[in-house]
A = this chain, B = another copy of it.
Amino acid sequence: MFLNFRVTATDPTSKGRRGSFVTPHGVIETPVFMPVGTQGTVKTLGPDDVTRLGFGLALANTYHLYLRPGHETIRDLGGLHRFMGFDGALLTDSGGYQVFSLKDLRKITEEGVAFASHLDGSRHLLTPEGSIGIQEALGADIIMAFDEPVAPEMNIAYAKEASDRSTRWAERCLAARTRHADQALFGITQGGFDAELRRQSAQEITSLGFDGYAIGGLSVGESREVMGAMIDASEPFLPVDRPRYLMGVGTPDDLVRCVARGVDMFDCVMPTRNARNGTLFTSEGKFSIKNARFATDPGPLDPACDCYTCATFSRAYLRHLFTANEILGLRLNTIHNLAFYRRRIEEIRAAITEGRLGAWAGELSHAS
């Protein structure tokens, strides 16, 4: 599927750009942040909540859904959208990242990756063709090529080997896909922390002709400067007429800095996972709702926020819910953190339109 990605505005002070693309489940404006619905739900939220929060595109994890409840079950139930009850657009990852994270439980060959399920130890083989097949059964609007993420600890020789294999796997993914009409397929550029490898990977993957391109293997513990340098090494080779997706990123300030470097799409568990840990993003900074100073605080979580949580409840109540282990607290925190991310994206879009993104990103880059 051709997403018909169009750039609608560019920031003269950075590489930031606004755009939009078309999916069978709606038009997506970029820059865009995707909340993560690992197991077919953005944790603690219903699909109506996700929509109400303004997210028209969410991510789900192929690895988890393949193991449980199984992609064939989801396919037979009408696909992932219907299964989740979500009318918006969905993106599935390839399963590669999760499989490669099973360090002691997996074995890589040219064919694919053999691994043991983290749930029951059962043995599986994930191949490029298999990943595409699973993702076609799930039926997301955007699916991802199956590749080998280059882990930070790899030496450069291995990183080159993995990168070459990922290119061969990318070709197999393109050959395996069948749902051209209603699924976009993104390639993933890797290259570890080596600018030259980043360039090579970006050139090879983009030469294959995907509907969009991801930058993978970042946000794995490297410094802000290294992340920026690796984006800068990849970005010039990513075609301007395709969306660019920085996988697994990041903090609210990462969004500003990385859009300014030319990125269009993001996903990250940070807003949702932090919410469940009681860590909240606000216009007054990040803080933990567990803090005793909130015990009698009648004010809203974030005076600058208009989300349901901030409009309805006090910090004292939110702290009480968290302290008392009430599930509602996790939900209310999640609603707020996602509303914060959503607003951050809107602020970034406005900064692009008004030519201020470069200055904003610059301030953040120089901040401690």
User: A326's contact among B41, B298, B316, by CB below 8 Å, is which?
Assistant: B41
In the complex, residue of chain B having the shortest beta-carbon distance to the beta carbon of A68 = B324
Within 8 A of B (CB), among A285-306: 295-296, 298
User: Contact: B47 with A312, CB < 8 Å?
Assistant: yes
Within 8 A of B (CB), among A28-42: 39-41
User: A78's contact among B39, B47, B298, by CB below 8 Å, is which?
Assistant: B298
Total count of chain A residues near the partner, CB < 8 A:
39
Segment at the interface with B among A176-184, A189-197, A233-241, A328-336: A328-336
Which residue, A85, A326, A328, has most C-beta atoms of chain B within 10 A? A328
In the complex, whether A73 has a CB less than 8 A from a CB of chain B is yes
User: Contact: A313 with B69, CB < 8 Å?
Assistant: no
Copy number in the complex reads 2
Which residue, A47, A48, A327, has most C-beta atoms of chain B within 10 A? A327
10 closest cross-chain pairs (CB), A and B: A85-B312, A69-B320, A41-B328, A39-B324, A44-B327, A41-B326, A77-B298, A85-B313, A83-B317, A77-B316
11 contacts between A and B (CB under 8 A): A39-B321, A40-B321, A46-B332, A48-B308, A68-B320, A68-B324, A69-B295, A69-B316, A73-B295, A78-B298, A84-B317
- 14 additional A-B residue pairs with CB within 8 Å, beyond A39-B326, A77-B317, A327-B330: A39-B321, A40-B324, A41-B326, A41-B328, A43-B327, A46-B328, A46-B332, A48-B312, A68-B320, A69-B316, A73-B296, A83-B317, A83-B320, A85-B313
